[in-house]
Amino acid sequence: MLEEHFAIEDTIGDSEAFGFDDWKDLNRRLLDLDDERIGEMDENGIEFAIQSLNAPAIQAILSTDEAIEVSRKANDVLAEAVARHPTRYAGFAALPMQDPDAAAKELTRCVKELGFVGALVNGYSQRDVEDSVLFYDTPEYRSFWATVNELDVPFYLHPRAPIAARAQHFSGHPWFIAPAWGFAVETSIHALRIMASGLFDEMPDLKMIIGHMGERIPFDIWRVDHRIKKAPLGIPAKKPLRYYLQNNFHITTSGNFSDAPMQCAITEIGLDRMLFSVDYPFENTIDGTGWFDNANLSEEDRLKIGRTNAIKLFNLDLK
C-alpha cells in the first residue's frame, strides 16, 4: 500500500475539516503509527505500507519558515516509525514546496539520510497570503524537479481541496468540494499542467504517481489530446499528453474500489503501472482488500498490482 496517511499534532486539524462523522476514531488512527495500524494490516493481509503525511498539511502553511519546520518534524516522526517497523513501513517525504530549494534540500535529506523512497505532496501550495496557489509546472520549480530526477525517486501528487475563494462552482454543494469531486478536479488539472509544461521532455525519466484510479484522467485523456491537436495554442509539450501519462505516471487504486475505472486505467497506462493502495485511514482496509481480492483480474495480474509493481518502482527489499 502506498497512499496511507498519518498525522502529527501540528497537522491533525486539517483532516478534521473534511467533516467525517467518526472524527474521534479517525483522529486516533491518524496519530497511531504502531499497534493499531499494523494490526489492521495483519488482519487484511497487507505486508508492507509506505506512509505519508495527511492533507493538506504542509501545503496549507502560509509561512515558508513554518512549512520547512513542520515538514522536517513530520519526516522525523515518520523516520522513527520506519525504524521501529523496518519490515512493515517505508516513508514518503513531506515537502515545503513554498520554497523549491528548501523542498529539494528536505527531499535529499529524507532520501539519503532517512532512507525514504520518494515524496508525497498534497497538491498546490499556498504562500504568504490565503488566496494563493502555487502549481509545480512553473519555471521556479525546475530546479526542484532536477533534484527529484537526480535522486531517481517517485513523486506522488496527492489531492487537496480547492481554496474556497476560488471554488464558486461548489457553492451550495459542500459535499462535492473535497474527496467526492474537488480532489480529482484539483489533482487532474495540476497533473495535466505538469504534462503540458514540457517538464517530461526535459526530464524524461521523472516518475510521478497519482491516486484514485487516475483522478479521472484515464477516462478523458484521448479527448484532451484530440482537442489540443486541433487547437494547440502554443502548448510547450512536444508529445501528446497521453504519452506522458503512459511513460511517466503510475496510478494507484486508493479509495476507488471499482472494477470499471481500474480497467479503464489499465487500458490507458498498462498493467505494470498500476499499484494497489487503500487510502488508510480515510478508507477502511477491509473495503479495499475485499474488493481487490475479488476484482476481475488474473492471479498473475493481481500479484503485479498488489505487490511486484511496487517492489520494482521503489526498489524495495521484500522477500
Render pLDDT for 70-112 as a digit per residue (tens, 0 to 9). Answer: 999 999 999 999 999 999 999 999 999 999 999 999 999 999 9
pLDDT for residue 33: 97
Task: Output the pTM of the full model.
Answer: 0.97
pLDDT for residue 165: 86
Fold that domain 4-314 belongs to in CATH = TIM Barrel (3.20.20)
Spatial CB neighbours of 223, under 8 Å, sequence gap ≥ 6? none
pLDDT for residue 57: 97
pLDDT tens digits along 239-286 = 999 999 999 999 999 999 999 999 999 999 999 999 999 999 999 999
Distances (CA, A) of 22 to 136, 207, 255, 281: 34, 35, 17, 11
pLDDT for residue 15: 82
3-state percent breakdown (helix, strand, coil) of the chain, nearest 5: 50, 10, 40
Indicate the pLDDT class of residue 62, thresholds 50, 70 and 90. very high
pLDDT, averaged across the chain: 96
pLDDT for residue 16: 76
In total, the chain counts a number of residues equal to 319
Nearest alpha carbon to residue 278 among 303, 305, 298, 316: 305
pLDDT for residue 19: 63
* Distance in angstroms (rounded) separating the CA atoms of residues 275 and 297: 13
Q: How far is CA 220 from the centre of its chain?
A: 20
Q: What is the mean pLDDT of residues 137-161?
A: 97
Angle at 109 between CA 48 and CA 244, to 5 degrees: 65
pLDDT for residue 47: 96
Cell of 225: 489530446
The 10 Å CB-count burial string (b at 16+, else e) for 2-31 is: bbbbbbbebbbebbeeeeeeeeeebbebbb
* Distance in angstroms (rounded) separating the CA atoms of residues 152 and 134: 24
pLDDT tens digits along 159-210 = 999 998 889 999 999 999 989 999 999 999 999 999 999 999 999 999 999 9
pLDDT for residue 43: 96
188: number of Cβ within 10 Å: 20
Domain residue ranges in the chain:
4-314
Q: How far is CA 31 from the centre of its chain?
A: 19
Q: Residue 292: is its pLDDT beyond 90?
A: yes
Indicate the pLDDT class of residue 212, thresholds 50, 70 and 90. very high
145 close to 206: Cβ distance less than 8 angstroms = yes
The helix (run of H) or strand (run of E) holding residue 227 is: helix 217-230
Strands (E), the chain: 4-6, 49-53, 89-93, 118-122, 155-158, 208-210, 249-252, 274-275
Cell of 299: 492471479
Residue found by looking up cell 475505472 in the block: 261
What end-to-end distance do the CA atoms of the chain give, in Å? 16
The catalytic position among 35, 259, 279, 293 is 279
pLDDT for residue 238: 98
Would you tell me the crossing angle of helices 217-230 and 241-248 to the nearest 10 degrees? 140
pLDDT above 90: percentage of residues in the chain: 93
Q: What is the mean pLDDT of residues 116-127?
A: 98
Residue 279 annotated in active site: yes
